[in-house]
């Protein structure tokens, strides 16, 4: 699969690179970033995939989170896709930030006009993995996944729906029960139709209830997050995990909000958590 390098910047002894390619999943040109640590110059390294939140692109994480310093020290690659398909011919809702471009929700849309392009679940779990492992010095099959908000939801469902594909999963302020919040209901109804039983296949809480295979999970949410009460529902996921004897570490962080200030504070701990599982 052909990719085009558009940027390369040296950071912490490694390289932050950006690429475009024609996506077979999303039927448009897609952009993603990769950070390769210094260790990747001499051997293959494990990878952590980062999924960003509503309104973001790959640029938010790579410029705000401070993750490259830790990835360099730990010897892991970072794979950072966009949040949705892009382009003049890609459907959008210009008056909404929570539907359309920047809001792919990491599902495979089944409804028109979204279904032609909005196949972000397949893009993340299939196409992007193949691109990364074919084009970069990454150990095949040795990967973890993390993300923020909508991307935290995406990371959880990708891990819970694919037993054995990821060694670990973590999330910052994830949307834990989207079938029961306004963000999820709005996007799922548009992308997936009115049958709510189909929605459950893209809901971390419902996946745990339905027997998702256990793997190491770390979640951080801020107690001062403005979306905590009405959109995120980490308590629903915790209750489902308790009932299913599914061990997760859910940390409610006093004083932290929904921003990249929060992410940058704890990203080093998340990457160390993944590195431990990836090296085991």
For this structure, is 261 an active site residue? no
Q: Which CATH number fits domain 3-279: 3.30.70.360, 2.40.50.100, 3.40.50.1820, 3.30.230.10?
A: 3.40.50.1820
Q: What is the pLDDT of residue 8?
A: 98
Contacts for 3 with CB less than 8 Å, ≥ 6 apart: 19, 20, 21, 131, 135
Identify the active-site residue in 52, 225, 270, 274.
225
Q: Beta strand 169-172 with 217-222: parallel, antiparallel or unpaired?
A: parallel
Distance CA 233, CA 102 (A): 22
For this structure, is 21 an active site residue? no
Segments making up each domain of the chain, as ranges = 3-279
* 4 has a pLDDT exceeding 80: yes
For this structure, is 274 an active site residue? no
Digit-coded pLDDT (tens) for 18-40:
999 999 999 999 999 999 999 99
**pTM across the whole model:** 0.98
Digit-coded pLDDT (tens) for 161-202:
999 999 999 999 999 999 999 999 999 999 999 999 999 999
Identify the active-site residue in 149, 168, 170, 221.
149
Identify the active-site residue in 148, 258, 270, 274.
258
């Amino acid at each position: 699969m052909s990719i085009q390098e558009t940027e390369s910047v040296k950071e912490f002894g490694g390289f932050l690179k950006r690429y475009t390619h024609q996506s077979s999943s999303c039927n448009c040109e897609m952009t993603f970033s990769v950070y390769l640590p210094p260790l990747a110059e001499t051997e293959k390294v494990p990878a952590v995939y980062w999924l960003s939140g509503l309104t973001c692109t790959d640029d938010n994480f790579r410029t705000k989170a401070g993750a490259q310093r830790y990835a360099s020290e730990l010897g892991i690659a970072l794979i950072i896709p966009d949040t949705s398909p892009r382009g003049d011919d890609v459907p959008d809702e210009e008056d909404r930030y929570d539907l359309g471009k920047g809001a792919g929700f990491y599902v495979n849309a089944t409804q028109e006009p979204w279904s032609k392009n909005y196949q972000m679940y397949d893009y993340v779990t299939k196409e992007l993995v193949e691109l990364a492992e074919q084009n970069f010095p990454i150990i095949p099959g040795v990967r973890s996944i993390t993300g923020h908000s909508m991307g935290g939801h995406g990371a959880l469902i990708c891990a819970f729906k694919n037993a054995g594909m990821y060694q670990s999963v973590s999330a910052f302020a994830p949307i834990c029960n989207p079938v029961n919040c306004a963000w999820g209901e709005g996007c799922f109804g548009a992308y997936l139709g009115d049958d709510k039983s189909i929605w459950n296949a893209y809901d971390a809480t419902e996946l745990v209830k339905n027997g998702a295979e256990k793997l190491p999970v770390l979640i951080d949410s801020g107690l001062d997050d403005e979306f905590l009460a009405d959109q995120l529902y980490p308590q629903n996921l915790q209750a489902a995990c308790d009932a299913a004897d599914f061990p997760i570490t859910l940390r409610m962080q006093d004083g932290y909000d929904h921003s990249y200030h929060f992410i940058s504070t704890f990203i080093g701990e998340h990457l160390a958590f993944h590195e431990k599982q990836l090296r085991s």
